[in-house]
Structures are given as structure tokens and as C-alpha cells.
Structure 1
């Protein structure tokens, strides 16, 4: 499935995990803070992965892993955006994936309907 990202939709909305697992650069704030996470945490990771595919490095790669964890977990500052030479649709796709509040982050279905994804399915 070249060029395809799959999101597992297993589990229920009420199932929230509360343990830290993952690689800091791709970890959502709620994962770092152990405040309960679910499918929307995977959306954050998709945004980080698309960012890395576009730039060759994950967001905050210039930071040490521990510093990146504190930066993401403490909700300090903005997450980096794609460089200007990328389309506005691509930049917005990454931006909405990296929305700090998981309840405001799009669902997988909403991402599939994002203008950046049109014609890629």
C-alpha cells in the first residue's frame, strides 16, 4: 500500500489509556502527561509522521528527546509548521493533526475529508 497510512479504529470511545509509551518526538501531549488518550493521540502521530516525510526530520528534532517531551507536554509554544514551499493544504493538514487539545483534533474520518487528502484515496 504505497503512500497509504492506516489508522487502527479498534476499541471504543470510552477506552482511554493512561500510561506512557512511544517515541518522544511523535508523542501527543496527553500521552506525555498521562491524562488519558485514545484515537486522537494517533492523529497527532500522523501529523508528526507527515511532517517527517515532508522535511526528513520529525517536529522538534533540533531538541534533545527529553526537552522535546517537556516542550510538548507543557504546552509551551507552537509546534513547528511545514516550510513555506509546501502547499497550504499540506501545511494545514499537519497543523490540524498537531492541535494540542485532543478534543479539538480531527478524527481519522475528518482527516480523510481534508482537502490535502482529496484525490489520494
Structure 2
């Protein structure tokens, strides 16, 4: 029940497994969170310089290798959007979210 087999969403935020139609699960949502944080930080989604189809092929072919945040972002932010996908529980404990301001 964790995986669904259908493609929904905008290519720039699609996880590799969604593009490759190998299923959709919680990890796919974590991917989208990383893309959303990337867009909030930079003003555009990862791979926005590519057209939609090129971005889909890139994500599907590279299996999750996404461009990093630009160098001027904090190490915490860069680590938060890295290509590895932790669980939601792990992300909630990440220093990017928990550090005091």
C-alpha cells in the first residue's frame, strides 16, 4: 500500500521512480520537499533551465542526482536538499529545521 503506480505532478518536482513508473511512495514525497526547498531558496525549481521533457529524462536517467544549492547557501540548507532521501522523521530532526534563530 506504500506504492502507487501512476504518474502525477509537474516534471521538475517528480522523483526518479515516478518518472520511471516504478511506483510512488513516501520517498517520492521527500524528493518533492527537497525540490520545493530548492525553489524557495533559488526562486526556481531544480533543472528549470531545461524544458520539461529534458528535465524528466535527466531525472529519470540520473536516478536522483540533482544540482546542489548555490555555494552561498548554508551547509545546513545544502545538506537538507541533498540527493539522498531520509525519512520525514529524520528530516524533522535535521538541523536546518531545528536550529534556533
Q: TM-score, normalised by structure 1?
A: 0.77
Structure 2 CA distance for partners of 1:45 and 1:77, relative to 1, 3 Å: closer
Q: Distance in 2 between matches of 1:71 and 1:107?
A: 24
In 1, the alpha carbon distance for the partners of 2:30 and 2:65 equals 17
Q: Displacement, 1:75?
A: 1.4
Aligned to 2:96: 116
Local SS of the residue matching 1:74: helix
Superposition RMSD on alpha carbons, in Å? 1.6
Q: Which residue pairs with 1:81 in the alignment? A: 68
Q: CA deviation at 1:73?
A: 0.6
- Identify the residue that residue 87 of structure 2 maps to in structure 1: 107
**C-alpha separation between the residues in 1 aligned to 2:64 and 2:8?**
23
Task: Determine the structure 1 residue equivalent to 2:11.
Answer: 24
Deviates more, 1:111-120 or 1:41-50: 111-120
**Residue 54 of structure 1, aligned match among 23, 27, 41:** 41
The 1:78/1:15 distance shift into structure 2, 3 A limit, reads: closer
Q: Which has the higher helix share?
A: 2
Aligned residues: 100
| Cα offset, 1:77, TM superposition | 8.3
Contact kept in structure 1, 2:17 and 2:28, CA below 8 Å = yes
Structure 1 gaps, min length 5? 1-13, 100-104
Runs of 4+ in structure 1 off by over 6 angstroms are none
